[in-house]
Amino acid sequence: MDFLPWTIFARIVDRYDGNHRVRTLACTEHFRVLAFAQLTYRESLRDIEAVLSAQSAKLYHMGIRAPVRRSTLADASERRDWRIYAEFAQRLMVQARKLYAEEDLGLDLQETQMIHDLDGKRIIVTGAATGIGRATAEMLISRGASVALWDINPEHCETLVPDGTEDQTVICCDVDVGDGAAVASATKESVATLGGLDGAFNNAGIGLPSLPTHAVAETDFDEIVRVNFKGVWLCMKHQIEVMQASSSGSIVNNASVAGLAGFALQGPYTGTKHAVVGMTKAAAVEVAEAGIRLNAVCPGATKTPILRHLVEAGITEDVLSDLTPQKRIANPEEIASAVCWLLSDQSSFVTGVAMPVDGGWSAN
């Protein structure tokens, strides 16, 4: 814990509106406890308490001097978002693997990894300033990846750049993904700065106001095709060329459930997302033998800026929730988790897939 910068701890707590202290148990101590429990595959408070009692000497070495009671854990857990512990425990484990690689701790830090290993991966994220792109960038950075943040508003990405990290690089790039020269230049810059390319999340996209397909202006049609379809193709084109040199890599394209079904009043948007799904599948077959994986993620209704086009048409969040079997819309972090899995080595035999992350919408 002492080797993990305080800024990382504070940023993760603040990201989920957490308090830095809860009653008698300091937040940093609680993080240590939950991380230790996750490493030993303990889930219930009773199990965690038992582990803590049995491993008091190790906990003392970690900085926890007093017994941690089940009631205290319950009190703290009720007052914080569980995702705080997930992210912080992952950072603790990344650090632990470096510090204790040669020591016998009685557990395998590689095998007991709680979240997918993205530490050291070099990844491009497009559309990184807001929504799903931002949530994915935050998650990748929190798990130790070096990331190139692409957006037409790169200044909005600057708050994602961590402070004081020597073994992690995060850069912001001003990129219009529909501009071939800009994509080529940004790819070259990103690869040079990160030292290579292991993965990419092609997320940048735009929406249109809800209109019948025949009522859409030609200029609007051209623009959404340029960004949503051509933009993904341009990014894939340059990413694959780089990855072929190392015979490895994972690319994830954001396709939306609009790539799986027809959405009335969103014809051009639906068309571009169907195109992304088809192109992803075709390219996945083409480069599979080269060791490169391509998949598409298909989010359902998610709390992002692009959702406003549906809301403006009278399709409210309540309506979207009612259409989803889970009766709610997604948080961006839930889509980001799926993307991170597809980018990680945990999904090594998954390619050519259009994965719905939609609360059961596509199955209904």
What token pair was written down for 73?
């854990």
Domain that holds residue 162: 122-363
**pLDDT on residue 142:** 84
CATH number, domain of 143, equals 3.40.50.720
Is residue 113 situated within a structural domain? no
Is residue 266 situated within a structural domain? yes
Is residue 73 situated within a structural domain? yes
Whole-prediction pTM: 0.74
Q: What is the pLDDT along the chain (364 residues), one digit of tens a residue?
A: 455 555 666 666 666 665 554 434 455 555 555 555 555 554 555 555 665 566 566 555 555 555 555 555 555 555 555 555 556 666 666 665 555 555 555 544 444 444 447 888 999 999 999 999 999 999 999 888 999 999 999 999 999 998 767 779 999 999 999 999 999 999 999 999 999 999 999 999 999 999 999 999 999 999 999 999 999 999 999 999 999 999 999 999 999 999 999 999 999 999 999 999 999 999 999 999 999 999 999 999 999 987 877 777 778 889 899 999 999 999 999 999 999 999 999 899 999 999 999 999 999 8
Same domain assignment for residues 82 and 134: no
Is residue 104 situated within a structural domain? no
Q: Count the domains in the chain.
A: 2
From the list 41, 60, 85, 269, the catalytic residue is 269
Residues in the chain, overall count: 364
Residue corresponding to tokens 């079997």: 325
CB 142 within 8 A of CB 87: yes
Same domain assignment for residues 77 and 132: no
Alpha-carbon distance of 62 to 55, in angstroms, equals 11
Closest by Cα among 125, 138, 132 to 302: 132
Same domain assignment for residues 87 and 171: no
Is position 269 annotated as part of the catalytic site? yes
Same domain assignment for residues 79 and 144: no
CB 274 within 8 A of CB 298: no
Question: Which residue type does 95 have?
Answer: Q
Is residue 270 situated within a structural domain? yes
**pLDDT on residue 223:** 98
Residue corresponding to tokens 């792109």: 133
Helix (H, G, I), strand (E, B) or coil at 273: helix
Alpha-carbon distance of 101 to 109, in angstroms, equals 8
Alpha-carbon distance of 230 to 224, in angstroms, equals 9
